[in-house]
Structure 1
Amino acid sequence: MNTTNQTVISASTLYVVPTPIGNLGDITYRALEVLQQVSIIAAEDTRHTGLLLQHFAIKTNMFIFHDHNEKKQATNQLLKKLQAGQSVALVSNAGTPLINDPGYHLVRCCHKVGIKVVPLPGACAAITALSAAGIASDRFYYEGFLPATKKARKDRLQLLVKVLPTLIFLESTYRLKESLADIISIFGSVRYVILARELTKIYESIYGAPVKELLAWVQEDKYRSRGEIVLIVEGYKALINDSIPAEALRTLTLLQQELPLKKAAALTAKIHSIKKNILYRYSIV
């Protein structure tokens, strides 16, 4: 482990620097040193980043770098600065750059022309939410934002319905209820979902329930759909592989031929001493 306390900035180097997702105290010492010492900071929104720099008394010049200019003149301008010996820190409005934010085109171009890229570890809303979800985290699939239109959103969900790892979505305040309703229609009503909202901020909340219950919970209070939102969705594997004995599955199959699903699941659960919810969830997927 490198225990060096002093950060030495190298010429002609791009630093990928995470910034806090809410609580300014989450920024690292190393990130502050880099932002203080580089030649220029490439920022998605200079007004937003300016507040962060002002808080920590950092006066490094900024360069506007966002989705609309990354593939046009901005990347070429930054490459010229880097090739001339300047050092650049790339930041997004919040969290780790390139995770649902601009920057990959610049990074790729840096690799092509031999510019060194140094990534710093730090805040990421998706990983922060996953760490507190209580849902399998050994494998996960980051989807980011679902499409804004209903048809495109449902089409995308249909492609994801049988993905085995845990799913991670970002969602807009304005589309949360519609997206949860579409998850119900495609994934079923009992798929377990964690809603993590306003992480690291004053009104942080983390709440999980089968998705139909989660939607009802959100609808009870308008504030439950406000702010920055991450959805952690139980993977398909969790629904079909809960260590259900083969004998129990055979019993369930036989009973379903004569009884409604809920009753068949309840009787099977009693016979084999397992939870009826597991059997029910297994059957409706």
Structure 2
Amino acid sequence: MTILVTGGTGKTGRRVADKLTALGHTVRVGSRSGTPPFAWTDRDTWAPALSGVRAAYIAYQPDLIVPGSLDDIRAFTELAVRSGVRRLVLLSGRNEPEAQACERVVRESGLEWTVVTCGWFMQNFTEGYLLEPVLEGAIALPARDVAEPFVDADDIADVAVAALTEDGHLGRTYELTGPRLLTFADAAAELSKATGREIVYIPLTMEQYAAGAAEHGVPDEVVGMLNTLFTEVLDGRNAYLADGVREALGRPARDFTDFAESWAHSSS
């Protein structure tokens, strides 16, 4: 069957697409550069991308927390039903009310479904906007001393692939975390130890962070999303561990130390 992977060039989508391809599945990468192209901001691209698809991985860009995400997920899900899609796997934000509303849409669609909820990815430090600060040795964020169970994007992808291709995950919601709680200062210390370079965490106020982001040309809507993530979601609500990786895959989640050492080795 053809499997559509939306966000197919993103942190999790790229991994999901690669793992599915390695297993011999027919994959349609949902991205602006895909064939056919797909963009969450252009609904005219959705129907061609869903044509002939039997399962879809939903990774919404930029985040389910942004205004309009619920309308998009509802419209996409309804179109998936009309297009003959049988199974949906939704990547959702952990304990985010907006994301939970999107989860309900998928659960109530009448299709086979699995929901995968996550918080901060380990790879945010090495593949996203934090890579440059990490390389420069200073991670400046308004994250205070809140602990987060950073989760590995490959663990997320492995769970998503299992849910897309196996029947034992239908109707399940998997809450994925790493095996330890770490503050951002702890994460910086782990990265320092792995790389042999000093990497420090510098706490900022949200006002300081927003001003700096604006100076660097970050759009207002992105600054607003980051404000919500840092002030409302990174407030301690996710400072606990869950065992979704083991529940789905029968193995433990990857630890941050292993991730940091692997990245340091590959980038040296």
- TM-score by length of structure 1 reads 0.32
Superposition TM-score, scaled by structure 2 size? 0.34
Tell which structure's C-alpha radius of gyration is larger: 1
